[in-house]
Amino acid sequence: MSRGGTAALGAVLLSVLAVPAHDAAAAPADVNSAAVQAGSAAKAQKLPAPDVAGLRAVLRTALTQRAPGAVARIDDRGTVHKVAEGVADKRTGRAISTADRFRVGSVTKSFSAVVLLQLVDEGALALDTSVNTYLPGLLPDDNITVRHVLSHRSGLYDYTNDMFEHTVPGFEAVRNKVFSYQDLVDLSLKQPLGNAPGAAYSYSNTNFVVAGMLIEKLTGKPVRSAYQSRIIKPLGLKDTFYVHPGTAVPGKHARGYLTPDEAGAPLVDSTEQTVSWAQSAGAVISSTRDLNTFFSALLGGDLTSAEQLAQMQQWVPVNSTQGYGLGLRRRDLSCGVSVYGHTGTVQGYYTYSFTSKGGGRTVTALANTSNNGTVLTTMAGTLESTFCGKPAKAAATRGEARVERHEDIAPGIARD
Ligand code: REY
């Protein structure tokens, strides 16, 4: 598209998005927002009891759809529910456990965003400043700001679109590769911007590669050090690692199984890989307990100032029931509760990790397969069971009504 065409499209999209960045306070209804307004602390959000039997049924359904294993852990103000079904390792048959470590994929983006918002708190970074101010000459348009990057509104093309057009060959081609951040940005810049800066939401891993470059530039250290000193150590996360370019998942972990595009072809063990194609956009390893601790602390206000947490929750609409903030997703559930967190897709692993307003109740769910849209849709049901409780009879099919749109994958490579 010509630059003029891009700008015109941008203007149209801008008018569509004119409502979008409604602030955190105006976010869609939580069931008991009245109670919150009435003065109870946000932390005291009252939710229906989790439906643990329903949660187990969701995981069992995922197994019937070719997930080797699936787990979920709920942390609810000190009460813990752990559910595990199936295997961590198809070869040995070892049962999967909620204590197993796994690759979290794009949940990494929330880690990267937290680091950058802490840097904003410290006065080292400004959200509405051009990325090129910090990384001179990196991006083709000086109008792309830090905020545009963290909210997927830069227009930067997602290079994974081409990389994983063919799922297994694409994966095998990069599983042992080591990319620099610049290599990945260069891949993206082979294509023009998809929209004028700020004009439209378009999920792109490139944005969080740029986030990693900003972290390294501003801290003078690899992203691993920033995750370690700013998140992992203060929160006491024992299962969380940033391994790059090593290929192993340390300690006891679930193996990941990638589903080939060819119907009926055997699953491919994709556990070991550099994840160099994602790095600060997707290479963190963690566990259900640690991700629950992380999102609970984040929404509880323990990782950033209240001001930066509010910035993280300036939502751009993704669709009628989802918003994207700064490295943070909002999902509006069928019972009217909104939850905050991130999803993750990396070869062999689908993750959902979301918490309630104030961080009081959190769930992390994992299926150790990917490239299987049916399993992805099923696993979204873990949020319904966790935050909406037992479905009323008439609404019993609510979880099945919404088909997941492969939200962590550029639309061009999504496969149903
Ligand atoms: C890449 C494709 C997914 C995964 C991705 N993940 O961008 C980032 C994220 C880190 O946002 C692969 N799908 C799969 C295909 C489709 O290859 N052809 O499902 O494992 O989580």
- Tell me the pLDDT tens digit for each residue of 33-73: 333 333 334 445 689 999 999 999 999 999 999 999 999 99
Sheet holding 257-258, edge to edge: 268-269, 257-258, 369-370
Catalytic residue, from 15, 40, 106, 334: name it.
106
Residue 34 dihedral angles phi and psi, to the nearest 5°: -60, -45
How far is the centre of ligand 1, averaged over its atoms, from the C-alpha of 305 (Å)?
32
- pLDDT for position 392: 79
Q: Is 371 in the pocket of ligand 1 (CB under 6 A)?
A: yes
Question: What is the rounded average pLDDT of the residues 357-363?
Answer: 98
Question: What is the rounded average pLDDT of the residues 285-305?
Answer: 98
Residue 166 CA, closest ligand 1 atom number: 18
Written as one string, the DSSP assignment of 70-115 is: EEEEEEETTEEEEEEEEBS-TTT-PBP-TT-BEE-TTHHHHHHHHH
Question: What is the rounded average pLDDT of the residues 189-204?
Answer: 98
Report residue 307's pLDDT band, with 50, 70 and 90 as the boundaries.
Answer: very high
- pLDDT for position 391: 87
84, 85, 272 from 285: Cα distances, Å: 19, 21, 12
In whole angstroms, what separates CA 70 from the centre of its chain? Answer: 18
pLDDT over 50 (residue 24):
no
Round to the nearest angstrom and report the end-to-end CA distance of the chain.
Answer: 28
Q: Is 279 in the pocket of ligand 1 (CB under 6 A)?
A: no
Listed range (31-35, 107-111, 142-146) with the worst mean pLDDT: 31-35
- Rounded to the nearest 10 degrees, the angle between the axes of helix 107-121 and helix 205-219 is 40
Q: Is 413 in the pocket of ligand 1 (CB under 6 A)?
A: yes
97, 104, 285 from 67: Cα distances, Å: 14, 16, 19
Question: What is the rounded average pLDDT of the residues 215-228?
Answer: 98
How far is the centre of ligand 1, averaged over its atoms, from the C-alpha of 47 (Å)?
33
Tokens coding 241? 């690692």
Question: What is the rounded average pLDDT of the residues 304-332?
Answer: 98
Residue 150: name the closest of 290, 314, 300 by CA.
314
Enter the DSSP assignment of 241: E
Kindly state the percentage of the chain with pLDDT values over 70: 83
Tokens coding 258? 């990638």
The average confidence (pLDDT) of the chain is 89
In whole angstroms, what separates CA 191 from the centre of its chain? Answer: 24
- pLDDT for position 394: 55
Predicted model pTM: 0.89
d(CA 343, CA 320): 17
Report residue 407's pLDDT band, with 50, 70 and 90 as the boundaries.
Answer: low
- pLDDT for position 280: 98
pLDDT over 60 (residue 22):
no
Report residue 404's pLDDT band, with 50, 70 and 90 as the boundaries.
Answer: low
Kindly state the percentage of the chain with pLDDT values over 90: 83
Q: Is 105 in the pocket of ligand 1 (CB under 6 A)?
A: yes
pLDDT over 90 (residue 236):
yes
**Cβ contacts of 301 within 8 Å, gap of 6 or more:** 309, 359
Q: From atom 15 of ligand 1, which residue's Cα is the shortest distance away?
A: 167
Tell me if 22 sits within 8 A of 342, measured CB to CB.
no
pLDDT over 50 (residue 93):
yes
Phi-psi region of 3 (alpha: psi -120 to 50; beta: other; left: phi over 0): alpha
Instruction: Specify whether 334 is catalytic.
Output: no
- pLDDT for position 396: 52
Question: What is the rounded average pLDDT of the residues 217-245?
Answer: 98
pLDDT over 50 (residue 1):
no
d(CA 135, CA 326): 20
How far is the centre of ligand 1, averaged over its atoms, from the C-alpha of 412 (Å)?
11
How far is the centre of ligand 1, averaged over its atoms, from the C-alpha of 410 (Å)?
8
How far is the centre of ligand 1, averaged over its atoms, from the C-alpha of 348 (Å)?
9
pLDDT over 60 (residue 29):
no
Q: Is 415 in the pocket of ligand 1 (CB under 6 A)?
A: yes
Count of CB atoms situated within 10 Å of the CB of 64: 10
Q: Is 412 in the pocket of ligand 1 (CB under 6 A)?
A: no
For residues 128 and 30, the model is more confident at: 128
Residue 348: name the closest of 139, 175, 113 by CA.
175
- Mutation probe of ligand 1 site: the residue of 159, 160, 208 with most atoms within 8 A of C-beta: 160
Tell me if 20 sits within 8 A of 335, measured CB to CB.
no
Q: Is 344 in the pocket of ligand 1 (CB under 6 A)?
A: yes
